[in-house]
Structure 1
């Protein structure tokens, strides 16, 4: 689903849904980051919004497909951020990403993108330092353990 905005960087605003996998260890909130398949940048699991699919369900599905995580995504987003993306056909777009906390319940033995990405559990501060999108970093730094 794209909305025309006429921006210099791209002519449309694309919507994505992301999962922020969380767990607590020794009283510290940890989040899971994964790498992109292309350049190996640290990100969170996300995918394009799909008509008829609830955003939180899509976020949970992306966490499974990209990181092999199984769990429940909160129905309400914990935040949003935007970033610029170069599409496979060379066009550019601004992506608006809604982020849903995902309480990880299990890890799959096999999943669609196994072996294509690295993953790492890190603190919120470490995650904010590793990601390249300023909006995602700000969202991570603004989280409180009770809110995630």
Structure 2
């Protein structure tokens, strides 16, 4: 079942290719401390991918080249008590700059992980599926 368009969010999947290996940038959620990707409401004056890039900057302190097509979507929770379910489109973001200071640096941890570690750290099976999908798209391989 689709959520109403007003309840759709956009997220970024920050990644970099280092020494031929794909690394993903995970952040902790503010409420539970679980490893996630930056996500949030789609700003009225922005496209979904521009909003995703802004979330990556605010929540993870990274900027770079954002894809205009999502790698996929997953259902997550939103709202102050996270009681509302929303569909979140995830846009790959190739990180070009990792900032030393960013808006939510005191509220979250960030961590670079190769595929095998990202699969272990991500709590949401749908996010694991999206990470694997992007890894295969970038490398043509399932091995980290």
Instruction: Return the TM-score normalized by structure 2.
Output: 0.84
* Structure having the larger proportion of residues in helix: 2
Change (3 A) 1:19 1:91: closer
User: Which moved further from structure 2: 40-49 or 133-142?
Assistant: 133-142
Matching residue of 1:136 = 127
Please say if residues 29 and 145 of structure 1, whose CA atoms lie closer than 8 Å, have aligned partners that are also in contact: no
Please say if residues 17 and 46 of structure 1, whose CA atoms lie closer than 8 Å, have aligned partners that are also in contact: yes
What is the aligned counterpart of 1:115 among 106, 130, 142?
Answer: 106
Give the C-alpha shift of residue 118 in structure 1.
0.6
* Structure having the larger proportion of residues in strand: 1
Which protein shows a greater Rg? 1
How far, CA to CA, are the matches of 1:91 and 1:17 in structure 2? Answer: 16
Unaligned 5+ runs, structure 2: none
Change (3 A) 1:68 1:86: closer
Unaligned 5+ runs, structure 1: 5-12
Total equivalences in the alignment: 137
CA RMSD of aligned residues (A): 2.2
Give the C-alpha shift of residue 87 in structure 1.
3.0
Give the C-alpha shift of residue 145 in structure 1.
4.8
How far, CA to CA, are the matches of 1:67 and 1:86 in structure 2? Answer: 18
Instruction: Return the TM-score normalized by structure 1.
Output: 0.82
Three-state SS of the structure 2 residue aligned to 1:146 is helix
Q: Which runs of at least 4 in structure 1 moved beyond 3 Å after TM superposition?
A: none
